[in-house]
Chain A
């Protein structure tokens, strides 16, 4: 080590921080270098001054007063804290809510919530109306079809005869179920008139009856009955759906 390195060691480290190797290098160096020996002595003196300074601590007068004043503040903070714990949340909440930006945000959220609620209500009402209409329409159709099915063959035959007779048409006519339903009352009246007919006309009608029976299957086929059963099930499903929506709205 040269002189500047030795000097750097003196000034950068404390005596107790020097390693045995560093101490040995310093000792060897200063035994040969008078300048560094002088610096080392100064370094030792500085170390001694610092060591003595370290033992001096500032005098604290009125120590008890300081401790008391600390504890007084701590105790008051402690009771404040108790108060704070109870009211801190609400105080902060009020302070938070009273901010302009928060008020704007809350108003927007409220507006969105109300809009969503209204939209949902509107959609629900729309859905219910749609379902009710659908249900009514379907029910009417089913009811009508059921009525037609419930006609026994004899009555049906008379209806058909009466129809043919009224129209003076002996050719093949495809009987519409809807037509039958709509004109049911008229057909009944026609049936009553039939009783008043003369025998040849009645015979002519009888021949048409057999034709009607052949066409019956075309009108009320198994497929048609199957379709009606499916529609019945659909009605039940729609009804339960309607009930669910109604109860949800009620809640």
Chain B
């Protein structure tokens, strides 16, 4: 996913939005909502939940834009908000699941047969794949993997987003990669 606006443009937009310019903020939303949605979907495996998180994230960004520290990248700050809201969502889902057992749309963890990675994947297929390969991992390990290996963020950025040390990122990543690659190889051999 490519960032369409330059750093200078973004800084200017943030400055304007900070003064209450909603038009400037709309430009930011239009440029970054897909970033948030992609991460939220990969963590939550649910379109509506991911949309809710994106919406809530941008409202939070709007409310707390004056607290944004220019020393860190805007996307890093945004990811941090998205990931935290995803974790909140997962916690509430866990509570809900205790009442309504497994009514999740993408609760199936087997990869659908006949999946072709050369063609565009449906959301259901993508969710099933991630869910299958990441099964057995903790939310932290899975999120570290998604941010580092699927969103291509640096170890330092992941550390900042997850609020954990670089060492912890590497440890979680090592375990997640081992697990996921073994599952991929197993899946490949079954094809």
Q: Which residues of A contact B (CB under 8 A)?
A: 10-14, 42-43, 45-46, 49-50, 52-54, 56-61, 63, 66-67, 69-71, 73-75, 77-78, 81
Give 16 new A-B contacts, CB below 8 A, not counting A13-B177, A58-B38, A58-B50.
A12-B177, A43-B181, A46-B184, A50-B149, A50-B180, A52-B117, A53-B117, A53-B130, A58-B47, A59-B120, A60-B47, A69-B55, A71-B29, A74-B62, A77-B62, A81-B63
| B99 on the A face (CB < 8 A) | no
Within 8 Å by CB of B181, from A46, A61, A63, lies A46
Q: How many Å from the CB of B81 to the closest CB on chain A?
A: 13
Do B55 and A70 have beta carbons less than 8 Å apart? yes
Q: Which chain A residues border B150 with CB–CB below 8 Å?
A: 50, 53-54
CA distance A5 to B176 in the complex (A): 18
Q: Which chain A residues border B122 with CB–CB below 8 Å?
A: 59
The 9 closest A-B CB pairs, nearest first, are A52-B117, A58-B41, A46-B184, A46-B181, A11-B178, A42-B185, A56-B121, A70-B58, A12-B174
Q: Which chain A residues border B105 with CB–CB below 8 Å?
A: none
CA distance A56 to B123 in the complex (A): 9
Do A60 and B34 have beta carbons less than 8 Å apart? yes
Within 8 Å by CB of B188, from A12, A14, A45, A81, lies A45
Do A74 and B123 have beta carbons less than 8 Å apart? no
Q: What are 24 A-B interface contacts by the 8 Å CB criterion?
A: A11-B181, A11-B182, A12-B178, A14-B149, A42-B188, A46-B185, A52-B117, A52-B118, A53-B130, A53-B150, A54-B149, A56-B117, A56-B126, A58-B37, A59-B122, A61-B47, A66-B54, A67-B33, A70-B33, A70-B55, A71-B22, A71-B25, A74-B59, A78-B22
| B129 on the A face (CB < 8 A) | yes
Within 8 Å by CB of A74, from B51, B58, B130, B178, lies B58
Q: Which chain A residues border B22 with CB–CB below 8 Å?
A: 71, 74-75, 78
Q: With A57-B1, A66-B54, A70-B33 in contact, is A49–B38 under 8 Å at CB?
A: no
Q: How many Å from the CB of A97 to the closest CB on chain B?
A: 26
Which of chain B's residues 26-52 have a Cβ closer than 8 Å to chain A? 26, 29-30, 33-34, 37-38, 41-42, 47, 50-51
| B152 on the A face (CB < 8 A) | yes
Do A58 and B59 have beta carbons less than 8 Å apart? no
Of A10, A45, A52, A66, which is in contact with the most chain B CB atoms at under 10 Å from its CB? A66
CA distance A81 to B168 in the complex (A): 39
CA distance A56 to B124 in the complex (A): 12
Q: Which chain B residues border A69 with CB–CB below 8 Å?
A: 55
Do B25 and A74 have beta carbons less than 8 Å apart? yes
CA distance A12 to B47 in the complex (A): 31
Q: Which residues of B contact A (CB under 8 A)?
A: 1, 20, 22, 25-26, 29-30, 33-34, 37-38, 41-42, 47, 50-51, 54-55, 58-59, 62-63, 117-118, 120-123, 126-127, 129-130, 149-150, 152, 174, 177-178, 180-182, 184-185, 187-188
Q: Which chain A residues border B184 with CB–CB below 8 Å?
A: 45-46, 49-50
Do B121 and A46 have beta carbons less than 8 Å apart? no
Do A49 and B117 have beta carbons less than 8 Å apart? yes
Residue of B nearest to A75 (CB): B22
Q: Which chain A residues border B1 with CB–CB below 8 Å?
A: 57
Of A42, A56, A67, which is in contact with the most chain B CB atoms at under 10 Å from its CB? A56
Q: Which chain B residues border A13 with CB–CB below 8 Å?
A: 177
